[in-house]
Amino acid sequence: MKLGRRTLSPTPENLEKPMKVWQQPLPEIYPQLSEAELRLRIESARAALGDRLVILGHHYQQDAVVQFADFTGDSFELSRNAASQKGIEYVIFCGVHFMAESADILTDENVWVILPDLGAGCSMADMANLDQTLECWEQLQEQCPDQTIVPITYMNSSAAIKAFVGEHGGAVCTSSNCRNVLEWALKGGAAAQTSTARKVKVLFFPDQHLGRNTAYAMGYPLDSMVVWDPRQELGGNDPRRLHNADFVLWKGHCSVHALFRPEHVDQVRQQYPDMRVIVHPECKWEVVQRADMAGSTAYIVKQVEAAPPGTEWAIGTEVHLVNRLRNAHPEQKIVVLSDCQCLCTTMYRIDLPHLCWVLENLLEGKVVNPIQVDAKTRKWALVALDRMLAIKGTVGPHGNDSSASGPVQISTQAGIVD
């Protein structure tokens, strides 16, 4: 009988649980290997492990690593791909910490999920922790006892925040289905059947920009939203404004997408009058408003793939995805929206030496860097994820979330994109 990850006898490597965020230095040999040697060793280990293993590569991952990925995509799509593989024992997630947590939540109990470098965190996910969330929740309940508050979290959040949301009547959303999930939340979320006609307020984690861009596209004015700063009493808000707000947006952001500024769009317009500007909705509202289109990574990829030769694009998202699109479509002109280093530096920590190290440990029967979500957190996070999937419009025709086919509906210069 195969031993599941929750019944496997502890080895020194397995005793890294509960997981740490500190990455032990690699054995000396790995940083000394040439790229060619690393490739050979990775290929050899990969072949030996065969179909016991799946390697996932996020869209923002560097090419050297992505070439070994069985699946490439956004975080939720990748986790669902892993969950649909039958009989696998290991998932190596070449992404960041919250993505590996999501894969652990969605895959079978017998599957070990491994993050090759534990230092690969996400600046946005790290901006909301559970203690701050509980404090915020208590203060909101006190200030708004006459309202139904529905917590919604973006996929880019820790498992603990997803579980909090699940336990309190809310759901997870992706950048593709955020509008559908917010529409559901504004009807009262999971409490819609039971609550009377109370005002509904949405508490949105952790990306204020995705929340603001989506709510604005739905017709909510900016003054119907407040930002919750977890370091301040009442999130830094006047009690009356807080009470009246329809959306409470957690003060979080992606450090990569925050680098794009409105003047970058203006510069592109001046330099390339025919160029279309397409950005991710993690960008600031001012940038999204100036862009021609906004949508998830899958939406951006789809738009470029469908465009005729000669189309010109300035893309506002992580540089590795933009470079990959440029290489795949030499018939189009594709540039990064700005010349800043729009690089997800934490994801960049996953490199060939780390991939080789985890694979060769697996060959020896050792699981290093396992990412494990405890049973209670997993249960409630799954509730939040299942609610998302049950909301109409959140599941695309390919069985993945609507990022596989659908755009984020964001108001831009060109109007609502859909």
Provide the binding-site residues for ligand SF4, judged by CB under 6 A.
60, 96, 122-124, 156, 254-256, 318, 344, 347
Distance (Å, rounded) from C-alpha 209 to C-alpha 207? 5
Minimum distance, C-beta of residue 316 to ligand SF4, in the bound complex (Å): 12
Minimum distance, C-beta of residue 230 to ligand SF4, in the bound complex (Å): 18
Minimum distance, C-beta of residue 344 to ligand SF4, in the bound complex (Å): 3
Q: Of 49 and 56, which has the nearer Cβ to ligand SF4? A: 56
Q: Of 272 and 348, which has the nearer Cβ to ligand SF4? A: 348
Q: Of 75 and 237, which has the nearer Cβ to ligand SF4? A: 75
Whether the link from the prior residue into 18 is cis, omega within 30° of 0, is yes
Minimum distance, C-beta of residue 277 to ligand SF4, in the bound complex (Å): 19
Minimum distance, C-beta of residue 391 to ligand SF4, in the bound complex (Å): 22
Q: Of 100 and 362, which has the nearer Cβ to ligand SF4? A: 100
Minimum distance, C-beta of residue 283 to ligand SF4, in the bound complex (Å): 11
Q: Of 244 and 255, which has the nearer Cβ to ligand SF4? A: 255
Q: Of 38 and 291, which has the nearer Cβ to ligand SF4? A: 291
Contact between 159 and 179 under an 8 Å Cβ cutoff? The reply is no
